[in-house]
Amino acid sequence: MPDRAESLRRSATYLDILGVGNVAELRALPWPQLVAATVEMFRRTGRWGYWSTPFLPVLDGVTLTRDPADLLLSGPGADIDLLIGWTREEAAFAFALSEPYAAATEEQVLARARDTFGARAAEAYAAYAEARPGARPVDVLMDLIGDDLFRMPGIDLAERRAARGRPVRAYQFDLPTPAYSGRLGAAHCLELPFVFHNFAAWAQAPFLAGLNPRIRDGLADAVHASWISFVRTGDPNHGAMPDWPRYERGSRTTMRLDSVTAAVDDLAGYWRRLRRPTANRAGS
């Protein structure tokens, strides 16, 4: 999350795009103009191979003094029951349908991988490519970004909670959508209509096209009931769902939400170990 100085730089960029000098002038502009300016914000603040998010909560020392994740480890939020998860192809939402990224080369993706893995970038690239037979460079890139931004931070928080004996359960949403010839996989946001079981409200969402109604509704029944149970009791278990244990350091159980739903021990273990320095991987 950006600090105060970085946020001020982003705010200055936004004002410059709109040609205004202060908040009063900003408030006088029509909202479509404000929204349109965000497109240019993405262009100016974005970096190749990264999910650009120019507007984020700010650690400003006033309204937000600590990273919210830290509050779930110590302080008043430490004993709150936590349900945390991700979709299998998070980054497909932003990159799978992008023609410029579809043309990405292995050299470009290796350069991006060095930001995460340093001298082990080639090893990491090979691991991601082997996990998806026939993977293109953009497929490796999407898995790398999805892990950087979603899965690995989620696992890290679950690990730290479990190490402190704090209650946490984890899930991975794996059901792929057939939309766009399957290029999205289980993309970012795809789990939301299953969580709320409100497909009618998502009628205009193209990423739901082609889902088998029987599988779709069956998974939604189970997921929706789990979230309701968790909200009411802190426990997502219910009669129609396989047993969903807590995420513990010994088992690292993660619920895989798919056409066949199952609790899997250490579902992302290979990737978690891949991201640790070689000297620290033994026995992890």
Question: Is the pLDDT higher at 69 or at 168?
Answer: 168
Tokens of 124: 């990491």
> In 3-state terms, what secondary structure has residue 55?
coil
Residue 281: predicted pLDDT: 47
262 forms bridges with which residues in the sheet? Answer: 256
Using alpha carbons, list the distances in angstroms from residue 193 to 95, 182, 205, 216. 21, 18, 10, 10
The CA distance from 142 to 151, in Å, is: 12
pLDDT tens digit string along 158-196?
Answer: 999 999 999 999 999 999 999 999 999 999 999 999 999
- Cα 60 from chain centre: 24
Q: Which band of pLDDT confidence, cut at 50, 70 and 90, is reported for residue 63?
A: confident
> In 3-state terms, what secondary structure has residue 222?
helix
111 forms bridges with which residues in the sheet? Answer: none
Using alpha carbons, list the distances in angstroms from residue 33 to 37, 42, 43, 136. 6, 15, 16, 38
Q: Tokens 């899965």 map to which residue? A: 151
The CA distance from 233 to 167, in Å, is: 12
Residue 280: predicted pLDDT: 46
pLDDT above 90 for 276: no
The CB-side HSE value for 255 (13 A sphere, CA atoms) comes to: 23
Tokens of 31: 């909202």
Supply φ then ψ for residue 255, to 5 degrees.
-80, 120
pLDDT tens digit string along 204-223?
Answer: 889 999 999 999 999 999 99
Q: Once rounded to an integer, what is the mean pLDDT over residues 113-124?
A: 96
